[in-house]
Structure 1
């Protein structure tokens, strides 16, 4: 196909968006704006030569146009007027680079925010952890955060979160419940899988993402944990794929920032004992076209293996990357060398502490040890709050 002018090149870019994309993104510094290296390669045979020749022809045409339009000499410096319908070689490069940047595979990191369930969580854990993420986490420009406010029973908390997301220009969705019916409030409030399914639908269908990674509301992503996820998502868009992400629970209330490395804080964590799930658009469309939807079983409420059931179902599939890290929470901590190997391959998230309040203790190992008991007690108290009897 011959390239005649930038209009034809734009058409060629639109028709073949996957044949020439090679843009290297520099690592994002948490305090600096992302810097993109505009390295553009056109691997089509002869495309680079034809592109250069097109630029020269445009320059020559502009130069001739200028000389023909000059009626008399003047001491003022001459400025060439661009030919109508064409651009200069430099701007033509910018057209290509802008197209490449806009066609990068967008990655969405979705978090589902649920109700605080004391004594498992502090009474304001969701808001405080969310604020920590927005103030300290840094993600690349082709990635977006999506927040799902999942049927919170306290309207004031919903309003506070909406105000916070509006302030930081974040994408969010609100799943509301019928506050006039206590049974509905409790049932919706403990249905986390409905929030996960909405996150998948909003990420793929509304935000046009190529990959969606699902996390809990208390997830914090570092640059070290993000890099393997982004690299894997950019390289796996041609076939249905899933990705298991490692989870490290913090046992101490340490200060978080994007530059943290797991080897420096491993002693403050449980080690890798849990996993989160990511999937690409092809896997989502494949599941939507079959009987397997909703993807997460919405009949399972919080505390009844609602997430693990789906993860275990995917573990035996060959297109589930890093599925071997799906481990039980009672596994002992691996060595630092094995942890580094897991991080480099699968990426990770940090699960923030249950009590992030200012007056909470620094050492929160006791809260983790009593996690199972406190979860049962927290769900029981949630029913009692609305004078309902908890089903067996």
Structure 2
């Protein structure tokens, strides 16, 4: 684990996090950089993962889902999704706590969530549900654990397949437990949980990173939060930026134009980006999967897709940052035709004026000796996905001031 990025929270810190009652304002934890404490407040997304269709989930099973928050706040709410289910699913009990280690929670941190005042909720197919606000404050960079006891699950489930984070499952209802004893099944996906939000100053907003496996974190080290959006979240928090939350809406294999690995970016934009609370900005890093699929996608095809994303986001009052498509020479699907499309797309991203700002990730990550290939120091080994150093360089390339625009 990298020094300076603590992942565990001790019992002494719990009072400053989830278990502080809102009735004691003086004890509430505030973000140390918040310049507007005491002003108006709203909910912002502090964590998210793109929902997709997963395999059938067994009934009468509990899930302990570990996620890393970005922006601090109070009145935590979780969003549970049955977007891809074909049958109703019942969350018979749901809790939120803090990770101590593995499946073990910090003592006294695990508290029951409610939905419309009820401790159980049934979500119809294609729908989502938002929990009631949970009293207390939650720090930035917390290892939050949402535990769900799920009943009635049939057919396909909804979740995020490549979490790059170990969570846990077990038979029966163990959601309320803080010990790890019964959580014997490590899992590498997040099920049903697709967003967490907190209440903070109205001057604080979040950014959504819309992308594919590069944004999803493939080739970064698991269980260390070293995806490039994680590095970006740490930068924003340290800088005290007004854009402080980060929601990672990457799906491995995702495309701008066509469904396949998840719904196309054009189709999932409303659910994964525009529906999230407190979002002011979206960073778009997509297109390599459209290009390398050898389906005849042209520069005009892709740029028309980008323009639609930007237009819809702008109509919703969001700023849009375009990221250039990174090199992929050495990947099995690389060819000269695809490279020509990538170069044309990047030229359009840089110069079309469609985006409010541009982050030139192609320039940052390419080799000076072979600009069609990733810099070897950043190459995760397959010539397409950056390693941890590459992920950090990507995040460092983002001009934090460019995440704000006049919209």
Same fold (TM over 0.5): no
Larger Rg computed on CA atoms: 1
Task: Choose between structure 1 and 2: higher helix proportion.
Answer: 1
Task: Choose between structure 1 and 2: higher strand proportion.
Answer: 2
